């Protein structure tokens, strides 16, 4: 059978009757059990449909447990909203690549049935790690768990859609799947907080949070058993199908380029819309609590309304679209409804009913778009390429979610004009700036606006253009945010004075900072090099720039993260007056990170660490050192100089301490 004939068969089958039992009847049913398990009768398809729906329900309970428990997670794990956002990053970022590769692997190697068992198990393992991380008070373990949940959930969707596309009534089937998914998601958003509060008899808050998260593990255990049952049910159905349908060859990489342009347009639209919904619900509870003064339970209930209409209406819309078509028209109406929801929040007052109204409108949008836009590829792509096609779609969704947070801005709550600082994290910007949030918040509390830049979020910058990207980003900040006020929970009044820009980096992130100031020597008024590392700093700067060159003792001891010939002393020697050099004794390269980042560094032995030092004291010291340096040189505050040059004012032991400030 040629490709054109096969594609025409796929398109035709998608519009056939919604009745089950399209497979020819092969024998009379002699018992109720045989009747139910016979692929030629409707109960067989109804049972398998309910089973897949339960898998979707369970998986999305795990996915949305983060949003439903946002306030307890932040409080119990002792983190801020910036570090909390790492859970969203961990969910989305790996899937940018994994969904692309995973879809091809499913089509070419594992097959749909076996893949479903594996990805369901992965989601369950991820939820277990989330709960274990709460029990042990290890936030980094919760991040690892979210990575497993992200990959497992996204690939569950990819595999299930590929299975549904081979059957009759694909649009109706997927509508039911997503009804179950959003029923699970909304239940988790609305009930997780309630379950946590009802477990108050568990006195240890970490154990209470972990116990709440383990509810999802029990559901995934049942979903795993169901996936095994589906494996055998689908095998039985294939025995009937293979007597009539020619076997379709597996997809090859070079066939992807033949996907029609309409498919790629669909990928872009689904990525933007679904990515927006994910971000909207992930931060919605905390946003509603702070802006509209709702209780955690009320904000969770309002946030769950995003999926309400999907639960009630999506199956009906899916059935109508399956019979009548009109995919594109419903997609456009849904997009307009989503836009109106965002405008409602943007232009509204702080009235308590606004979250409920906006979420309801958003739910109508979701109910229209998911049965229409998301199922269009089933009409465009052949069944043997379906996992690959939806792998591209989910990769696009996660790419959109990931690049939503290329920069994070920390700023004071008191209205006024403040000095802006731009920070590039370690490993040439590959380390997420959220891992430094404790120190960055402390710097902000001293009266600074701080912009943290993640140069290597998926799809944003590469190793060959990251310096140009950073320079363009800073130029954009200066051009577009100059004379504009930042707002906090609707209250304006925080403004950046970009004529006093300071730059700072950690580790190899200072290499990016260095190359930026080499390209534009008038860009920054002062630079703080924290534990710098650069192989490219060979020539002395030709101009004077106030510089702080700071290192740590353990960063250059095995296992080394910094090498002596390229460290803070090397930077100091290549710079001109005014310049300050110092190194903290018995502290290491990872001590500047939050607890989760430090634990990961400690467990992996990436850099030398010491568990006996007071890292809270160190964070106070390093943030005070940085603010003292910028305060003296950017805010003309002479008293701050003593905190840079007088050892009695410095709370940690130093070595290699010297300065050259009398220029």
**Which of the four pLDDT bands, split at 50, 70 and 90, describes residue 504?**
very high
SS3 58: helix
- Rounded Cα gap, residues 196 and 214, in angstroms: 11
555 or 491, greater pLDDT: 555
What is the per-residue pLDDT for 630? 92
Mean pLDDT, range 167-191, rounded to an integer: 75
- Contact assessment for residue 444 and residue 410, using Cβ atoms and an 8 Å cutoff: yes
SS3 522: coil
**Three-point CA angle 555, 560, 566, nearest 5°:** 75
Residues 289-310: b if buried by 16+ CB within 10 A, e if exposed: bebbebebbbbbbbbbbbbbbb
Residue 549, CA distances (Å) to 354, 505, 524, 572, 573 in order: 50, 11, 16, 6, 10
What is the per-residue pLDDT for 168? 65
Exposure of 447 by Cβ count < 10 A (0-12 exposed, 13-18 middle, 19+ buried)?
Answer: middle
pTM for the model stands at 0.56
Those residues whose C-beta lies under 8 Å from the C-beta of residue 458, and which sit 6 or more positions away, are 93, 96, 97, 398, 399, 402, 403
In percent, the amount of the chain with pLDDT more than 90 equals: 6
What is the per-residue pLDDT for 251? 55
Q: 382-426, pLDDT tens digit by residue? A: 766 777 777 777 777 766 665 555 567 777 777 788 888 988 888
Q: Check whether 212 has a pLDDT greater than 70.
A: yes
- Rounded Cα gap, residues 366 and 369, in angstroms: 5
- Contact assessment for residue 571 and residue 545, using Cβ atoms and an 8 Å cutoff: no
- Contact assessment for residue 571 and residue 532, using Cβ atoms and an 8 Å cutoff: yes
Beta bridge partners of 611: none
What is the per-residue pLDDT for 512? 83
Q: Check whether 444 has a pLDDT greater than 60.
A: yes
What is the per-residue pLDDT for 529? 92
Mean pLDDT, range 558-580, rounded to an integer: 86
Q: Check whether 237 has a pLDDT greater than 70.
A: no
- Rounded Cα gap, residues 25 and 237, in angstroms: 12
What is the per-residue pLDDT for 1? 42
- Rounded Cα gap, residues 614 and 597, in angstroms: 16
Architecture of domain 407-660: 3-Layer(aba) Sandwich (3.40)
Least confident of 121-130, 203-212, 324-333: 324-333
**111 dihedral zone (left: phi>0; alpha: psi -120 to 50; beta):** left
Q: Check whether 462 has a pLDDT greater than 50.
A: no
Mean pLDDT, range 349-372, rounded to an integer: 79
Q: 52-71, pLDDT tens digit by residue? A: 888 888 888 888 887 778 77
Backbone angles phi, psi at 502, to 5 degrees: -115, 145
**Which of the four pLDDT bands, split at 50, 70 and 90, describes residue 4?**
very low
Mean pLDDT, range 442-456, rounded to an integer: 82
What is the per-residue pLDDT for 282? 60
- The residues spanned by each domain of the chain are 3-17+31-403, 407-660
Q: Check whether 469 has a pLDDT greater than 60.
A: yes
Exposure of 76 by Cβ count < 10 A (0-12 exposed, 13-18 middle, 19+ buried)?
Answer: buried
- Contact assessment for residue 432 and residue 452, using Cβ atoms and an 8 Å cutoff: no
Q: CATH class for domain 3-17+31-403?
A: mainly alpha
Beta bridge partners of 496: 418
Contacts 24+ apart (CB under 8 A), 464-471: 466/428, 466/429, 466/512, 467/512, 467/515, 467/516, 467/519, 470/424, 470/429, 470/512, 470/516, 471/516, 471/519, 471/520, 471/523
Mean pLDDT, range 591-607, rounded to an integer: 80
> Please, what is the angle between helix 261-292 and helix 81-105, to 10°?
160
Mean pLDDT, range 211-233, rounded to an integer: 86
Task: State which H helix or E strand residue 112 sits in.
Answer: helix 112-136
Q: Average model confidence (pLDDT) for the chain?
A: 76
Q: 621-642, pLDDT tens digit by residue? A: 999 899 989 988 888 888 888 8
Q: 606-625, pLDDT tens digit by residue? A: 888 877 778 888 899 999 89
Residues 398-417: b if buried by 16+ CB within 10 A, e if exposed: bbbbbbbbbbbbbbbeeeee
Q: 82-122, pLDDT tens digit by residue? A: 567 677 777 766 766 777 677 677 766 676 677 888 888 99
Query: How far does Cα 285 stand from its chain's mean position?
Result: 16
The CA R_g of the chain, rounded to the nearest whole Å, is 28
280 or 650, greater pLDDT: 650
Query: How far does Cα 150 stand from its chain's mean position?
Result: 9
């Amino acid at each position: 059978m040629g490709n054109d004939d096969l594609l025409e068969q796929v398109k035709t089958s998608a519009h056939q009757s919604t009745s089950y039992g399209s497979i020819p009847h092969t024998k009379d049913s002699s018992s109720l059990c045989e009747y139910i398990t016979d692929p030629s009768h409707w109960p067989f398809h109804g049972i398998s449909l309910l089973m897949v729906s339960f898998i979707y329900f369970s998986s999305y309970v795990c996915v949305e447990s983060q949003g439903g428990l946002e306030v307890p997670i932040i409080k119990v794990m002792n983190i801020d909203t910036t570090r909390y956002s790492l859970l969203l990053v961990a969910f989305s970022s790996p899937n940018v690549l994994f969904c692309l590769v995973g879809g091809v692997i499913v089509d070419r190697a594992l097959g749909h049935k076996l893949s479903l068992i594996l990805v369901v198990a992965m989601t369950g393992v991820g939820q277990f790690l989330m709960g274990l991380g709460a029990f042990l008070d290890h936030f980094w373990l919760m991040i690892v768990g979210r990575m497993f949940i992200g990959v497992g959930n996204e690939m569950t969707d990819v595999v299930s859609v590929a299975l549904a596309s081979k059957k009759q009534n694909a649009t109706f089937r997927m509508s039911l799947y997503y009804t179950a998914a959003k029923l699970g998601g909304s239940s988790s958003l609305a009930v997780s907080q309630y379950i946590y509060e009802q477990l108050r008899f568990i006195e240890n808050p970490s154990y209470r949070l972990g116990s709440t998260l383990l509810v999802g593990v029990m559901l995934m255990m049942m979903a795993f058993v169901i996936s095994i049952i589906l494996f055998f049910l689908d095998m039985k159905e294939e025995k009937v199908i293979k007597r009539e349908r020619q076997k379709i060859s597996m997809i090859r990489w070079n066939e992807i380029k033949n996907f029609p342009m309409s498919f790629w347009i669909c990928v872009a639209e689904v990525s933007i819309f679904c990515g927006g919904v994910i971000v909207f619900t992930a931060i919605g509870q905390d946003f509603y609590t702070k802006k509209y003064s709702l209780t955690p339970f009320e904000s969770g209930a309002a946030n769950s309304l995003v999926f309400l209409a999907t639960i009630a209406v999506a199956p009906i819309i899916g059935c109508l679209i399956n019979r009548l078509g009109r995919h594109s028209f419903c997609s456009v109406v849904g997009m307009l409804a989503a836009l109106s929801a965002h405008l409602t929040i943007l232009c509204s007052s702080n009235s308590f009913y606004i979250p409920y109204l906006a979420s309801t409108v958003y739910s109508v949008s979701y109910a229209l778009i998911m049965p229409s836009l998301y199922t269009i590829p089933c009409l465009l792509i052949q069944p043997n390429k379906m996992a690959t096609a939806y792998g591209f779609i989910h990769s696009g969704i996660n790419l959109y979610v990931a690049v939503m947070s290329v920069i994070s801005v920390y700023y004071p709550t008191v209205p006024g004009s403040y000095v802006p600082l731009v920070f590039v994290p370690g490993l040439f910007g590959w380390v997420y700036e959220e891992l430094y949030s404790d120190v960055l918040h402390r710097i902000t509390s001293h009266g600074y606006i701080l912009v943290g830049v993640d140069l290597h979020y998926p799809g944003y910058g590469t190793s060959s253009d990251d310096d140009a990207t950073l320079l363009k980003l800073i130029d954009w900040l200066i051009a577009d945010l100059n004379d504009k006020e930042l707002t906090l929970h609707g209250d304006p009044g925080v403004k950046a004075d970009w004529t006093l820009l300071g730059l700072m980096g950690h580790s190899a992130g200072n290499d990016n900072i260095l190359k930026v100031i080499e390209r534009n020597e008038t860009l920054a008024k002062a630079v703080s090099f924290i534990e710098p590392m650069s192989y490219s700093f060979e020539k002395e700067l030709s101009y004077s720039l106030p510089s702080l060159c700071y290192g740590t003792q353990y960063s250059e001891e095995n296992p080394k993260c910094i090498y002596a010939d390229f460290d803070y002393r090397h930077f100091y020697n290549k710079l001109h007056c005014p310049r300050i050099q110092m190194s903290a004794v018995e502290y290491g390269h990872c001590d500047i990170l939050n607890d989760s980042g430090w634990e990961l560094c400690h467990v992996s032995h990436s850099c030398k660490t010491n568990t006996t030092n007071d890292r809270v004291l160190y964070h106070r010291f390093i943030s005070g050192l940085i603010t003292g340096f910028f305060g003296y040189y950017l805010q003309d505050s002479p008293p701050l100089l003593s905190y840079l040059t007088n050892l009695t004012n410095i709370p940690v032991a130093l070595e290699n301490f010297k300065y050259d400030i009398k220029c």
